[in-house]
Amino acid sequence: MNRLYDLASLTKPLVTAPLALAFLDLDRDRRWALGFHDRVTPLTVRQLLSHRSGLPPWRPFTGEPLAAQLRREVPDHPLLRPASPDLATYSDLNYRLLAEVLEAETGVLFAKLGEPSGLSPAPWTVAPTEIPDGPDAAAWALATTATLPPRDPHRPHDANARAGMAGHAGFGTTAPQLRLALARWVAAGWPDRMAVEVADGEQGARWGLGLQMLFAGGGRFGQWLSKVPLGSGIHVLEEPTEAAPPPAPPVDGDAGLHSGWWFHLGYTGPALFYRPSDQCCVALLLHRRGPGGALLDAEALRARRWEILERFVGQSGG
């Protein structure tokens, strides 16, 4: 039986960004439509896609308008911190607002808009492998008195998504399903429209309109992917086991040269890589779950992705 994977934030480049590029004017000012009446600068779809809107990384989805929610002070927590001035700051909130604009301007619910992607909106008929709650659950309790939504095996692992926040998560897939979806995604030209250098981000990141530039410095995934032969096509790679892999090498301080690839990562483990020069696409499907059932920390998750890519590049002749 094909396993179902919670795609988490891969919903952003595979569903939300294509819908925004298809239906929305990228440069219209939407401050007023989204309730940001005291904002002194424009708020555009282009900014939301490239994470340079100035919004903080995260807030719990309680149904309250985001502009009102952001006026309240919150405790110190990595997810609740403010955006870095003048730098693109990766934020789930950007894609929450994109979903709001899409629903408002099309009159169609986000899950329905996402059906042509070929991916499966939650609730899913088959439950993915469960992973424990992560930092979002702890941050939820700090930022609101609203009750954390109960766990449901047929809904996303991300607390905001299972609370009903559209745009940033909420879709799942099997490996064969994703392979077909990626073929349509590439053929429609969506990743080529996203892989356009737009904004400087935190910690040296470079953001396009839904994808991030991948560098080839030591310890970065581009170190392997830059060796993939041209014309390699579309690949969906599943994790072979939950066994702990050897540690990945440390990340060099020097990011190195652009690898030619763009990418996005999902909180629950999956990853997506795209090379515009030959439309090669590599997706990783894995669950962020250790051998004992615990949530993998960021470094252990990087090691698991590293192991899969290393094996793939070796088998591809790179």
Spans of all domains in the chain: 5-171, 173-316
CA distance 100 to 33: 10
For residues 271-281, give the mean pLDDT: 98
Per-residue pLDDT of 139-148, as tens digits, reads: 999 999 999 9
The answer to whether residue 296 scores a pLDDT higher than 90 is yes
For residues 279-295, give the mean pLDDT: 94
Give the pLDDT score at 137: 93
Under 8 Å CB-to-CB from 14, ≥6 apart: which residues? 7, 117, 119, 171, 181, 185, 272
The answer to whether residue 192 scores a pLDDT higher than 90 is yes
Question: Which residues pair with residue 236 across a beta bridge?
Answer: 283
For residues 207-229, give the mean pLDDT: 96
Per-residue pLDDT of 60-97, as tens digits, reads: 999 999 999 999 999 999 999 999 999 999 999 999 99
With CA atoms as reference, report the closest residue to 33 among 120, 81, 105, 93: 105
CA distance 140 to 162: 13
Q: Which two tokens stand for residue 193?
A: 């429209």
The answer to whether residue 197 scores a pLDDT higher than 90 is no
Give the pLDDT score at 315: 87
Residue with tokens 């041209």: 230
Per-residue pLDDT of 150-167, as tens digits, reads: 999 999 999 999 999 999
* Torsion sign (Cα): 8, 10, 12, 14: negative
The answer to whether residue 103 scores a pLDDT higher than 90 is yes
CA distance 62 to 42: 25
Distances, alpha carbon 101 to alpha carbons 5, 33, 114, 218, in Å: 27, 8, 14, 40
Residue with tokens 């969506």: 190
For residues 262-273, give the mean pLDDT: 97
Under 8 Å CB-to-CB from 31, ≥6 apart: which residues? 37, 39, 42, 43
pTM value is 0.97
The answer to whether residue 1 scores a pLDDT higher than 70 is no
The answer to whether residue 116 scores a pLDDT higher than 70 is yes
Higher pLDDT, 268 or 315: 268
Question: Which residues pair with residue 271 across a beta bridge?
Answer: 265, 284
For residues 297-305, give the mean pLDDT: 95
3-state secondary structure the chain: CCCCEECHHHHHHHHHHHHHHHHCCCCCCCCCCCCCCCCCCCCCHHHHHCCCCCCCCCCCCCCCCHHHHCCCCCCCCCCCCCCCCCCECCCHHHHHHHHHHHHHHHCCCHHHHCHHHCCEECCCCCCCCCCCCCHHHHHHHHHCCCCCCCCCCCCCCCHHHHHCCCCCCCEEECHHHHHHHHHHHHHCCHHHHHCCCCEEEHHHCEECCCCEEEECCCCCCHHHHCCCCCCCCEEEEECCCCCCCCCCCCCCCCCCCEEEEEEEECCCCCEEEEECCCCEEEEEECCCECCCCCECCHHHHHHHHHHHHHHHHHHHCC
Model confidence at 279, pLDDT cuts 50, 70, 90, reads very high
The one-letter amino acid code at 46 reads R
Is the separation of the CB atoms in 272 and 179 below 8 Å? no
Percent of the chain with pLDDT over 70: 99
Average pLDDT, the chain: 95
For residues 85-114, give the mean pLDDT: 97
* Torsion sign (Cα): 110, 115, 118, 123: positive
Backbone angles phi, psi at 35, to 5 degrees: 85, 10
The answer to whether residue 241 scores a pLDDT higher than 80 is no
